Amino acid sequence: MKNSGKLLSIALSTALAVTTPGLTWAAETVSSPPVIQQSAEAGVTPDSWLYPLERFLEQLQLAITFSEQAKAELLATLAQERMAEAKTMQAAGKYDLAVKATADLVTTVQTLENMQTQLPAEVATTISPKIQEVKQQSVDTLNQVLAKAPDEARDNLEDVKDRLELIKEFVSSHKELQQAKQEVKAAEKALNEAINTSNPEAIEKAQENLQETQDKLNEAIEKQAEAKEEMKEKTKKETEKEKKKENDSINNDEDENKLETDTTIETKTEILTETANQKDDKEEKNGENNNDETQKEYNEEESNR
């Protein structure tokens, strides 16, 4: 979103939609685009204190957008925002935030892809060109950030890139599955028509065609299941990696605190030891001075005698 004024505008619009009876449903019937209409420009960036508020309002706006097509269009716009944020953070040298924005971008694309697979055919056909455009832009953005990222950020970006590839494979397998289902239906229809003709050759040919399409369908089902499992496994590994990173960070902090404590104790011990030694030296010196004074007095008394 371009500025804090935009945030306020969306907040007020959202509040009205939630609190005003009928307003949300009215918004469902109008053909105007979603509230977030800006081009791919970064407004409130991840390094701003307003950023969490922006993300919250985005989720709220998605929640009150009931039309599947409008929601898909909104997700596409949000994906473009993540792209702009990633590029802006990279240009500013804030690679950790650029990586985070890129990861959020891939998550948004994944949500968009999953939604596309569940849309009615006519809606999916309408929104598909926009989704394909966003996907390609996402790949370009990811490669751009990856090309200029420092070594310490590359591992995370490679994980993000792998996840994006898995998303593409899953969507491709879903399309193959839908196509296979349509072919099976067509083959079943052709078989029924052949049976009605009582033509043995036509029936045999239709049966063979049906068997082929069913085999193709089974392969598509298996392929999508594998793609889904790969995505699940990738997500699991990324989660475990993040947890390990957090634990390592906590352990490092504990080690640093322990080292600091040990150093402090050692320093204090050295100070106390040095102080005690100085005290002993001083007492020893005072004792020697006292002995000298006593000897001097004794010598003076002997001389007077």
Produce one character per residue of 87-108: b if its CB has 16 or more CB atoms within 10 Å, e if not: bbbbeeebbebbbbbbbbbbbb
pLDDT tens digits, 56-115: 999 999 999 988 889 989 999 999 999 999 999 988 988 888 888 888 888 888 888 888
CA angle (19 as vertex; 26, 28 as ends), nearest 5: 20
Which pLDDT value is given to residue 263? Answer: 62
Candidates 3.30.420.40, 2.40.50.140, 1.20.120.330, 1.10.730.10; correct CATH number of 154-270? 1.20.120.330
Which pLDDT value is given to residue 61? Answer: 93
Q: Is the pTM of the predicted complex or chain greater than 0.75?
A: no
Mean pLDDT of the chain, nearest integer? 74
Which pLDDT value is given to residue 8? Answer: 43
**Alpha-helix runs per DSSP H in the chain:** 4-19, 23-29, 51-63, 68-91, 95-118, 121-148, 151-197, 200-304
Tokens of 16: 């009205």
Residue 21 dihedral angles phi and psi, to the nearest 5°: -60, 135
Residues, the chain: 305
Distances (CA, A) of 255 to 106, 138, 266: 35, 40, 16
pLDDT at 29 over 50: no
Tokens of 142: 């990811």
Mention every residue, 6+ apart, whose C-beta is less than 8 A from residue 4. Answer: 44, 50
Residue with tokens 């239709």: 206
Calpha distance 177→282 (Å, rounded) = 93
Residue with tokens 């929104």: 127
